[in-house]
Structure 1
Amino acid sequence: MSGPFHVHLISDATGETLHSVAKAAMAQFHGVDIQQHAYTLVRSERQLQRACDRIRENPGLVLFTIVNPKLRNDLVAQLSLLGLPNYDVMEGPVGLMQRVFNAEATTRSGGQHEVDQEYLHRMEALNYMIEHDDGSNLDLGHAEVILIGASRTSKTPTCVYLAIRGIRAANVPLVLGMPPPSQLLTFTKPLIVGLWVSPERLVHIRRNRLTTMGVQNETDYVDLDKVRSEVMTTRRLYEYHGWPSIDVTRRSIEETAAAIMNLLSEHKLAKEEQG
């Protein structure tokens, strides 16, 4: 297949929404040489013209999120003259909502990034995660989710992702040969989820971690037999206490977090039904 194919992303805000949509779509085309060009905070005729000039240099597909009607129409007109395929990523969802809500949409750029109560809630969750990372604070009664697992099982990055979604998440490491913190057995409100990784993958991750730290010595930390025992012990612990567990061996952080959020919804529903 010939290439490269140029994909231009034009946004009047940070471009986060547009980038996420484009990334998800482009991931479906393995082996296709795609070069991405991003233009963010395009809110004036001058900025728009600059973007269009660069598009002329590398013609290709154009995806955009421009809410200002005049800028949007000017962009579409220029792209039509160039004969370039283009798509307004916001047009479909906004148009549908206008029909369902029977209301006109505003033309606020980056409205989703305004400092509102939801934003403050996410910042609170992020601060909570930082204060309760890696078992540093076992006062976890106000957590919504507590992730447990052996070292290097993606507990911290998953908690960060959950916090960005506004969920108060904490994590506690499990160490081979040591009982889990007794506090874990007293919590009734938080959802406790165990994470685990295949022993072979876990050894690989840990070796890379030690290498970046300049450590070359062989230790139980990367001994395959010891790691197998560690993984088996943690999985038995999850099963014994009835804690749901997730194999994160081949999951991305986003996929793990999505699974946890589903478990959290079920957990909250069960709590409500219990009264």
Structure 2
Amino acid sequence: MKSLKVFVVSDSVGETGEHVVKAVVAQFRPNFEDTVIRRFPHIENEDQIKNIVEIAKAQDALIVYTLAEEIMRQKMHGQCQQNNIQSVDLLGPVIQVVQDKIGELPLEEAGLVHKLDDDYFRKIEAVEFAVKYDDGRDPRGLLLADVVLVGVSRTSKTPLSQYLAHKRYKVANVPLVPEINPPEELFLVDPKKCFGLVISPEKLNIIRKERLIALGLNDDAIYAKQERIKQEIAHFNKVVERIGCAVIDVTNKAVEETANDIIERIEHNK
């Protein structure tokens, strides 16, 4: 069996080229026997191209390249032709077809797909984090979070956590109840990334009554009484004062408004 060497050359990490090469080689050698696939990532100039082509010539290797810039593709093509190296341009022909079809010029920026993938996974990680550390389930998450929310019940802590998670922020939230001491981790959190959510007693009374009715319960339960609500808010004020964090009034704010307010403060503090 004849040995096969393939050099994958890229201005990014080279994953796309390597996947394609492996898919092709597998059609001939499912176990990749007598086959070497070598990646050359982050190629930025002609000198690097010349060096790779010289190595490929010495080792009788094929070159498969994914280079976003047209001038870099031309340099690679020229060097391979001069040295009689068999090569395949994976991106160039497809870029040209799309350009002709839509009449737009390509950005010619390396690694855009990889950046999108990273962004996607950061979002998924943030969403999973918000679910895991929702409603004070695990206080250890407070010290790992980008944003910590505290407030009494029905101040939109959970929907706000999820909204911020979709903006790639890891969020933990803690409900404050007078009968339960807040976790000690809460007082170790940087006050600049902690936000107390407060709401007017009148508005909270309406929201809680509607919640009880939706659950099929009597709306005159202690949970919705004004006295209980004032007691909870007084407890909330003591806790946030001890933390030293900012307090945001969410009485007449949509979740998006509160989220944007928090994001602006977080980015300003950075």
TM-score tier after normalising by the smaller chain length: 0.5 to 0.7
1:249 aligns with 2:251: yes
1:39-88: CA deviations, max 9, x gaps?
A: xxxxxxxxxxxxxxxxxxxxxxxxxxxxx999999xxxxxxxxxxxxxxx
2:265 aligns with one of 247, 263, 266: 263
Q: Any conservation in 2 of the 1:125–1:167 contact (CA below 8 Å)?
A: yes
2:122 partner letter? H
1: distance between equivalents of 2:215 and 2:122?
35
Which residue does 1:207 correspond to in 2?
209
Q: Per the alignment, do residues 189 and 231 of structure 1 end up closer, same or farther by CA in structure 2, a change over 3 Å counting?
A: closer
What is the CA–CA distance in structure 1 between the aligned matches of 2:254 and 2:99, rounded to whole Å? 38
Cα separation, 1, equivalents of 2:144 and 2:248? 23
Query: Matches of 2:146 and 2:155 in 1, distance apart?
Result: 19
Gaps of 5+ in 2: 1-97
Contact kept? 1:144, 1:189, Cα under 8 Å: no
Q: For 1:1-275, what aligned pairs fall within 5 Å after superposition? A: 104=105, 116-140=117-141, 141-188=143-190, 191-216=193-218, 218-267=220-269, 269=270
Task: Note closer, same or farther for the CA distance 1:71–1:223 as it changes in structure 2 (3 Å cut).
Answer: farther
- What fraction of aligned residue pairs are identical, expressed as a percent? 32
| 2:209 counterpart letter in structure 1 | R
1:142 Cα offset (Å) = 1.3
Q: Is the 8 A contact 1:146 1:190 kept in 2?
A: no
Summarize the Cα distance change of 1:190–1:116 in structure 2 as closer, same or farther, 3 Å threshold: farther
The whole-number CA distance in structure 1 between the counterparts of 2:238 and 2:226 is 18
Deviates more, 1:211-220 or 1:250-259: 211-220
SS of equivalent to 2:139: coil
Q: CA RMSD in A?
A: 2.7
Residues 176 and 235 in structure 2, CA contact (< 8 A), matched pair in contact too: no
Shift of 1:164: 0.2
- C-alpha distance 195-189 of structure 1, shift in aligned 2 (>3 A): closer
Look up the SS of the partner of 2:210 in the other structure. helix
Quote how far apart the aligned CAs of 1:219 are: 2.2
- Per the TM alignment, residue 232 of structure 1 is displaced from its structure 2 partner at its CA by 2.8
Distance 1:217 1:255, change over 3 A: closer
Partner AA of 1:167 in structure 2: Y
Letter in 2 for 1:261: I
How far apart are residue 231 of structure 1 and its match? 1.5
TM-score by length of 2: 0.56
What is the CA-CA distance between 1:205 and the residue it aligns to? 0.6
* Contact in 2 for aligned 1:134/1:156 (Cα 8 Å): yes
* Aligned equivalents of 2:233, 2:102: Cα separation in 1: 54
Indicate the residue corresponding to 2:47 in structure 1. none
Q: Residue 177 of structure 2 aligns to a residue in which SS?
A: coil
Measure, in 2, the Cα distance between the counterparts of 1:213 and 1:171.
23
Deviation at 1:188, TM superposition (A): 3.5
Measured in 1, the distance between the counterparts of 2:133 and 2:210 equals 25
Asked whether the equivalents of residues 177 and 235 of structure 2 are also in contact (C-alpha less than 8 Å), the reply is no
List runs of 5+ in structure 1 lacking aligned partners: 1-67, 74-102, 270-275
Quick one: which amino acid aligns to residue 251 of structure 1? K
Q: 1:255 deviation in Å?
A: 0.5
Structure-2 separation of matches of 1:190 and 1:104 = 44
- Specify the structure having the higher radius of gyration (Cα): 2
